[in-house]
Structure 1
Amino acid sequence: MSEFTAPGILPCQSIEALIDQGAISSAGPWDTDQVQPASLDLRLGARAWRVRASFLPRRGTVRQRIAEVAMHELDLTKGAVLERGCVYIAELQERLKLPKGISARANPKSSTGRVDVFVRLLSDFGDAFDDVNEGYEGPIYMEVAPQTFSVLVRTGTRLNQLRLKTGEPPRLRTESVGVDLTGEIAGFRGRRHAGVVDLDHVDGHDPRDFWEPLYPRDGQLLLDPGEFYILASKGAVEIPVMEAAEMTPIDPSVGEFRVHYAGFFDPGFGTDEAHGKGSKGVLEVRSHETPFILEDGQTVARLVYEPLTEKPSRLYGDLGSHYQRQGLKLSKHFRVWGE
């Protein structure tokens, strides 16, 4: 991998170079589509543990802390159901030996956030979720906490992704993201007592068993406390080929809700060059303790753009994508509404 002269997000060819150098290794063979334009999909390993509580391993290893809080162990090689309302720690197949100057940050994959599964990355002696320090060497783990649906996972299931970077990439710009409440269906609300979602079964679930369609009234939507919603952005989202973006929650003073668990947008999303012009951002919204009336066009999140160190050799959608050119869309696990 060549030396970088400026801070930035590493593109796919640089991630592949790190793999070739052994800076990123795996317990099993790599999947052919695992490296995305500016991120690396991470895969569940062989074991997970049901734990009493979430934790940060600030003064020890993740395995040491698991021994203190584990309730029982699950064998993921045979598949296991992770129950909603419970917290699990899973080992990942990937292991890191980051060179000096390279750090990383993780985020849930889009499909994970859209089924309201809260995931966070853990590293040994880490004092923050999702962030991996420069030069870190060791295993990585994932906290998994299904919120609305219980989910079926197995060894190899991909729930989060890793973005690698040099230095501290500058914020190129920040854009406000509004919500669209003008469609015939404004969004979907998760059914709390639905069945299990198999996270490796694409197009394998009837959405009517898991979701309730929502119809706007006068461009407004009432968010009920504790409920989970899928909505769409008012405008299209476009990520230039030399940039990547992360969608971040708004300041709590603007509204009593959280938007977007899955925050990474790879270069090429929504662009003409990648045949995705007009793609919208899908918003994963969870209301807090107070009912809140959301209005059409209201700002609900912000997109923060950062530079890549160089142009990626492939763009979002080149390996196939369920979400390029999307409008209001449920996760890939569900058939298209109405079909």
Structure 2
Amino acid sequence: MKKHNFSAGPSILPQEVLLKASESIMDYNNSGLSLIEISHRSKDFVDIMEKARALAIELLGLEGKGYKALFLQGGASNQFLMVAMNLLEKRAGYLNTGAWSTKAIKEAKMLDDIYEVASSANANFNYIPKGFDIPSDYDYFHCTSNNTIFGTQMKSFPKTDIPMVCDMSSDIFSRTIDYSQFDILYAGAQKNMGPAGTTLVVVKEDILGKVSRKIPSIMDYKKHIAAGSMFNTPPVFAVYTSMLTLEWLKGKGGIAGIEEENEKKASLMYSEIDLNPLFTGFAAKEDRSNMNATFNLTNENLKETFDTMLKEAGISAVNGHRSVGGYRASMYNALPLDSVKALVEVMSELESKA
């Protein structure tokens, strides 16, 4: 039976990418060697790294604008501290929209003064705060573009004269926006880009080198840039698979092409949630995420029946996070529209049975 993979992360990847990546494990580029047993300093892998970095910049529309792409280790969680290490001199402002921004704030507070410019914690993060002020004397402003747990997404970003940093772990490469409005953006690969193990960091070079603290070498963006994103041994397989995924995305018309598909998936999903009386959405309608649709049953007595129907239809990983409950359909770039149709059909069938 075909599986419909709605995992929130690590998540679904294109089948053609998985096939090519798996072949590289046994024999990369007809070399007689596995990708994961060759030197990261070899021409084969240096070419992979350079192509992955170039594709990221190209697809984001940042060519010739002073940005460098890095593929680092430690996950997006490592960036919570790394951003502060490189940019925080006195104080910074954070928008708190969920679990990951809460963790980012906690890590940055280890270094200096961090202020929440706004928060939606009062409503269990079911909306995105708006109309807040960002003081001009802050070192930077940090936000999280999409919240996987709560199913909210920033549809626009504030205008500010200070550097803006964005955690885009769960919606990077999914929609057309002006990525040059950010001075740093980062994203764990395991949602829209590749397997767990690497994190894409895109940095505007001219904002670096302005803090007075000594930065540990492994935490210093400038050192990683100077070393071509190979200051230490990189996660070769994760970088290679990310490169393949970015090639796949370019072949689909880039971000504009995939955005059109993502809009269709989200529209179908939310239409069923709104029209089917057995379901109710968690996130505020104007802030609903195109990547993660969170919803609940209006009658919990139907849970066992619904879960059985999902399993029989081959629908996997739609349980909601424990802090929200209910269900979550993660619709990342590689998820086919047919998988969303299959889920909607089960939801509609439940209504006919109730």
TM-score by length of 2: 0.24
TM-score by length of 1: 0.25
Which has the higher relative contact order, 1 or 2, with Cα contacts under 8 A spaced 6 or more apart? 2
Larger Rg: 2
